[in-house]
């Protein structure tokens, strides 16, 4: 990871909410989720916040690196309808080695819809995938 991120750096990312990003689509097999009106799902809002952080981190990554989520502390404060655009501002709050923390705020055209903190850690994909392979090997005796 290149040391180019600085506290205060801000990345802005926008996304127009589609019907497929509403609550009933989060878990289509759940009657409880099906009973909720079609509004932007909290899970998708969190994903959008993470997307902004991933974009913020992208210029600092070296060949073969990526990042994984380590912290999610957010509120979801207002509903957003399909067709509205959500804009996320992700501001670097701290950089500690390979760990980065952002303050995030999400707005649609009318309201602040969410805010909080997102953390991610930079990993080397080959090492991470090797760890996944070891975990899969440990699962094999359990499922066999």
By annotation, the residues acting in catalysis are: 42, 50, 76
What gap in Å lies between CA 51 and CA 36, rounded to an integer?
Answer: 25
Asked if 121 and 97 touch (Cβ cutoff 8 Å), the reply is no
Region of 107 on the Ramachandran plot (φ > 0 left; ψ -120 to 50 alpha; else beta):
beta
3-state class (DSSP) for residue 51: helix
What gap in Å lies between CA 40 and CA 18, rounded to an integer?
Answer: 8
Q: Look at residue 140 in the predicted model and tell me its pLDDT.
A: 79
The answer to whether 98 is a known ligand-binding residue is: no
For residue 39, the tally of other CB atoms under 10 A from its CB is 19
Q: Look at residue 72 in the predicted model and tell me its pLDDT.
A: 99
3-state class (DSSP) for residue 136: helix
Q: What is the pLDDT along the chain (144 residues), one digit of tens a residue?
A: 998 999 999 999 999 999 999 999 999 999 999 999 999 999 999 999 999 999 999 999 999 999 999 999 999 999 999 999 999 999 999 999 999 999 999 999 999 999 999 999 999 999 999 999 999 999 877 765
Q: Look at residue 144 in the predicted model and tell me its pLDDT.
A: 59
Contacts of 38 (CB under 8 A, 6+ apart): 19, 22, 23, 24, 81, 82
Q: Look at residue 143 in the predicted model and tell me its pLDDT.
A: 66
The answer to whether 120 is a known ligand-binding residue is: yes
Burial of 66 (0-12, 13-18, 19+ CB in 10 A): middle
Q: Look at residue 82 in the predicted model and tell me its pLDDT.
A: 99
What gap in Å lies between CA 33 and CA 50, rounded to an integer?
Answer: 23
Can you give the pTM of this predicted structure? Answer: 0.93
Burial of 63 (0-12, 13-18, 19+ CB in 10 A): exposed
């Amino acid at each position: 990871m290149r040391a180019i991120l600085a506290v205060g750096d801000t990345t802005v990312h926008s996304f127009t909410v589609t019907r497929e990003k509403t609550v009933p689509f989060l878990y289509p097999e759940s009657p409880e989720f099906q009973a909720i009106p079609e509004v932007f799902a909290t899970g998708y809002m969190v994903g959008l916040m993470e997307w902004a952080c991933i974009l913020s981190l992208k210029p600092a990554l070296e060949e073969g690196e990526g990042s994984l989520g380590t912290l999610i502390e957010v509120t979801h404060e207002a509903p957003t309808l399909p067709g509205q655009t959500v804009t996320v501002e992700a501001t670097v709050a701290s950089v500690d080695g390979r760990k980065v923390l952002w303050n995030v705020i999400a707005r649609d055209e009318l309201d602040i819809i969410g805010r909080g903190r997102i953390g991610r850690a930079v990993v080397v994909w080959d090492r991470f995938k090797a760890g996944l392979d070891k975990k899969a090997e440990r699962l094999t005796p359990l499922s066999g």
